A and B are shown apart, each in its own frame.
Chain A
Amino acid sequence: MRPLLEVKDLNVVYTTDEGQTHAVKGVDLTLDRGEVMGLVGESGSGKSTLALGILRYLPRNAEISGEAVRLDGLDLLTLPRRRLREIWGTRVSMVYQNPSTALNPSLRVGRQLEEVARFHLGASGGEAEHRVLGVLHRVQMPDPPSVMARYPHQLSGGMVQRCVIAMALMADPDLLILDEPTTALDVTTQAVVLDLLADLKQEIGASILYITHDLGVVAGLCDRIGVMYSGRLVEKGPVDRIYDRPRHPYTLGLLACIPRFTRGRERHTLPEIPGSIPRPEVRLAGCVFAPRCPMAAELCGARLPGLREVSPGHDSACFFWEDVPSPEIGLHPVPELKWEDKGGRVKELLEAEGLVKDYEPSSGWGSVFWRHRKMLRAVDGVDVAVGEGRTFGLVGESGCGKTTTARLIAGLATPTAGQIRMEGEDLQAWVGGRSRSQLQNLQMVFQNPEATLNPYRTVGQALLRPLLLLRGMRRKAAAETVLDLLEAADLPQSYFPRLPGELSGGEKQRVAVARAFAAGPKLVVADEPLSSLDVSVQGRLVNLLLRLQAAEGTSYLFISHDLAVVEHLSDEIAVMYLGKVVERGPAGRVLRPPYHPYTEALLSAVPDPDPAAADVRVRLKGSVPSPLDIPTGCRFHPRCPRFLGDLCVESEPPWRDGEEGHRILCHITW
């Protein structure tokens, strides 16, 4: 049978002021009807450009050339633009990464969906509405009529993404392109969307091209995987072969980088792929991956390896594919780490008790005239205790108050109630009131690499200031220390005069870590430092944090929505839901049953990078309720997979004590 999509020798070249960039180089690809193919690679590997290039849906400065791109026999490369436009949205549709910008905020969801039905299907008013209801049903949207009457901001991220998927399915496309559809979502929401896609796959019969940087996500969904690096396909093959026996060192590296649960083993570093993806303008004579490849030999630098079949349906672009070890053995070095176990009782470094933070829902004149307004309680009586040299992990979905807790401790927000003590000494609530040594002791690493560094200050300036201010260094000594800091953070010293705009996301985050450590802190609060980084880069940052901790004896308060990462780093874990801690204890205990139903759901949401994994699903219904309207009794009861009945609705659950200080806030007894 003829494949649905056939791509032969596709090239995309961007022309900009700085010259030409070869973003996609000679890619061959076929996709059968009803087949799901994963296109995997780090940011900048050209996977989105490839997908958009297939559709010729690229900006004007992109030049697309190739032997053939055939969709069901139709040559897309030579098709007139007018015909092409008829294909976009009907035979091929696309779902983008960021759901929040995919819908028009000023139109009701229903109207936007109906417009698609009218435009692409020529449906009349009533028919369009009927169509929309049907397609919303198919994406398992709860209560479609009420969703249609709402505006996008009234829906949660997962629901918006479901609407966008519904929009893409409206015209029964032959090919569906999903560009990182879950990257901007929470783990729990991601799990729900992935489940939905797996269900839809059976149902719709469309071929799917799934673009992602995370091999962990697509294992359960795809039939075949294509791995891209620097504009080239370096390996493609059936999903089980790719995961069991990858034949390209890059694929192996990507697999190794996925954080997996180790269930209470000792803290250890993650494998990392050294170096970073070359800029597209860099031209190499040989294999593009050679500079980062631990297996590289002389041949690799001299000649370009082409894709060749290594077993039926499995191609690799590596000269030494036979020597690529199996994932169990691995290839990429796991940096070693020496822990100095001091033993004995750990002294508490930071103790925060009963932290509460209320926000006024809207400020301004309203607060002058209406005194007694309902307050929004973002954090509701949270205790945090971080031991010296230890790591305390705080986990939860977005909106659970974990970032607010971090900001309260750092003094960037003032608590409504509660106390913060550091080394037994009370800390002022507002950062401006803290002494120099207190500031020095507590530093922070932030979430967004794009906002963490001032775009107008060089890397050197960013690192100099804390040395001058908090360590009282002279300029010359400080400049030398900056070079040491850069080295400790795995950054070349030549980065001193660079502006943040010239750095990659991972590099910016490493500068941010160096900046936090410049002060010589005892505690570093890390607020989701990994969440906007590629999986391959996350490992490197985790390792950096661990290495610095081993060397300096620093304590961490590590905040994340990703349990697998938290488990790697933490000695103790607290799970937060809607402003309250619902479970806490030693890392090994919290993640081993019995656990709070919410923790169970979080654990189950972490995608398993194994195509043959047993499908045990605990999924949460709906989304986190508004903190303005906290459910009665146990605040988790409306979404709880183990809901007991009236007890959970009526009374607040008690703390139940397990072993080794493990505590669970739940009505269930074990």
Chain B
Amino acid sequence: MSRVPRLSKEPVAFAGAVVFVFFLLMAVVGPLLVPYEYTELVPADRLVGPSADHFFGTDQLGRDVFSRVVVGSRNIFFLAGSGTLLALLLGTSVGLFSAYYGGFLDEIITRLLDVLLSIPPLLLGLVLLGTVGSSKMNLVMVVALLYLPSIARVVRSMVLDLKTREFVDAARLRGEGDLYIMFREILPSAVPPLLVEGSIRFAYSIFLVASLGFLGLGVQPPSPDWGLQINEARNYFRQAPWMLLFPAGAISTLVVSVNLMSDGLRRVLVPGQGGG
């Protein structure tokens, strides 16, 4: 039974996917098509409202908001995306090993993850970035570290169940090694819920990256960044609300679209687990 046609039966998720693909395209090809350079200052055109020349208006330095939003999508996709991927990679391995070997090692790893989970992510992110300094590399690492525990927990709980299945016993009886059993026998069954968890984490990462940007610990100016744009726009909200509206709208639209998609993914990939 193919799963793709069933995804199309989820119109809401489908709409989410369409919006998401639109943003993705924007990040990939958008910067080549934008009307202005994102750093281009036109002092004469400061704080101009949306018009045919400037679709989203201009900011306090006369930069084109539309161009900055489009180019800024690249940063957010790159940072949130690679952070989530890294979290998936590490979280899956940690959860898999911890659950498979069990015992004392599992106990220690689980408690460490609990400690990480108990600290509010934004706070921990601030502390870490404040300590090591902000760079794209560090941002990715922080995102990965913050979302690793929840992914590891999902994988761990799946593996704890899967490792007692009889096909795992059968693999042991034919002398398969632990790595083979973990990655070839057990992991494939954990992939569908993992995809769902990953997509939820991706939505959270977008928020986190934007929030860190807003607080000045994200991408540094003059690079365009949605969070940073919102921060700058705060002071001009009365004169130029479009400066705030468009980047904020972009963040929320993207996050909502990712959430809708992951809801649909869950219904299709993990039947019988909520959301139905």
Contact = CB atoms under 8 A, between A and B. Distances in A.
A411 B174 CA distance: 12
Interface string B1-14: 10001100100000
Interface string A447-479: 110011111110000100110011000000000
Q: Which of B165, B174, B175 has the most CB of A within 10 A?
A: B174
A412 B185 CA distance: 16
Interface residues of B, number: 19
Contacts, number: 63
B101 interface: no
Interface in A16-34: 17-18
B173 interface: yes
B3 to A, nearest CB: 11
Interface string A294-312: 0000000000000000000
Contacts of B185: 454, 457
B188 A444 contact: no
Interface stretch (A213-221, A382-390, A435-443, A481-489): A435-443
Given A432-B172, A469-B174, A456 B165 contact: no
A420 to B, nearest CB: 14
Nearest to A461: B184
A439 B175 contact: yes
Nearest to A364: B107
Interface residues of A, number: 34
A465 B176 contact: yes
A472 to B, nearest CB: 11
A452 B173 contact: no
B173 A410 contact: yes
B169 interface: yes
Contacts of B175: 434, 436, 439, 469-470
A412 B168 CA distance: 10
Nearest to A500: B167
Contacts of B5: 17
B1 A412 contact: no
A50 B79 CA distance: 57
Contacts of B166: 446-448, 451-452
A248 B166 CA distance: 39
A589 interface: no
B170 interface: yes
Contacts of A432: 172
B170 A469 contact: no
Contacts of A407: 169
Interface string A503-526: 000000000100100010000000
Contacts of A196: none
A406 to B, nearest CB: 10
B167 A452 contact: yes
A470 B174 contact: yes
Contacts of A519: 174
Given A17-B5, A455-B189, A456-B188, A412 B169 contact: yes
B167 A439 contact: no
A462 B170 CA distance: 10
A171 interface: no
Contacts of A410: 169, 173
A87 interface: no
A562 B189 CA distance: 33
Interface in A335-365: 364-365
A443 B107 contact: no
A457 B171 CA distance: 12
B interface, over-half SS: helix
Interface in B100-115: 107
A548 interface: no
A431 interface: yes
A563 to B, nearest CB: 24
B107 A466 contact: no
A453 B175 CA distance: 16
Contact of B167 (A436, A453, A470): A453
A407 B171 CA distance: 14
A329 B166 CA distance: 41
A448 B167 CA distance: 10
A451 B167 contact: yes
Interface string B174-204: 1110000000010011000000000000000
B143 to A, nearest CB: 30
A515 B170 contact: yes
Nearest to A518: B174
Given A17-B6, A446-B166, A451-B165, A456 B173 contact: no
A17 B188 CA distance: 25
A407 B6 CA distance: 41
A72 B176 CA distance: 63
A519 B1 CA distance: 32
A439 B107 CA distance: 32
A390 to B, nearest CB: 21
Q: Which of B9, B165, B170, B189 has the most CB of A within 10 A?
A: B170
A455 B189 CA distance: 8
Contact of B170 (A17, A444, A455, A456): A444
A412 B189 contact: no
Contacts of A512: 170
B170 A439 contact: no
Contacts of A442: 173
B167 A431 contact: no
A407 B164 CA distance: 12
Interface string B52-65: 00000000000000
Nearest to B186: A454
B160 to A, nearest CB: 12
Interface in A187-211: none
Contacts of A412: 169, 172-173
Contacts of B9: 17
A439 B174 contact: yes
Nearest to A521: B173
Query: Nearest 5 pairs between A and B by C-beta?
Result: A446-B166, A456-B188, A454-B167, A466-B174, A451-B166
Interface of A: 17-18, 364-365, 407, 410-412, 431-432, 434, 436, 439, 442-444, 446-448, 451-457, 462, 465-466, 469-470, 512, 515, 519
Interface of B: 1, 5-6, 9, 107, 165-167, 169-176, 185, 188-189
Given A451-B165, A470-B174, 6 more contacts: A17-B1, A410-B169, A431-B172, A442-B173, A451-B167, A470-B175
23 contacts: A17-B1, A17-B5, A17-B6, A364-B107, A410-B169, A411-B173, A412-B169, A439-B173, A442-B173, A443-B174, A444-B169, A446-B169, A447-B166, A453-B167, A454-B188, A454-B189, A455-B189, A456-B188, A457-B185, A465-B174, A466-B174, A470-B175, A515-B170
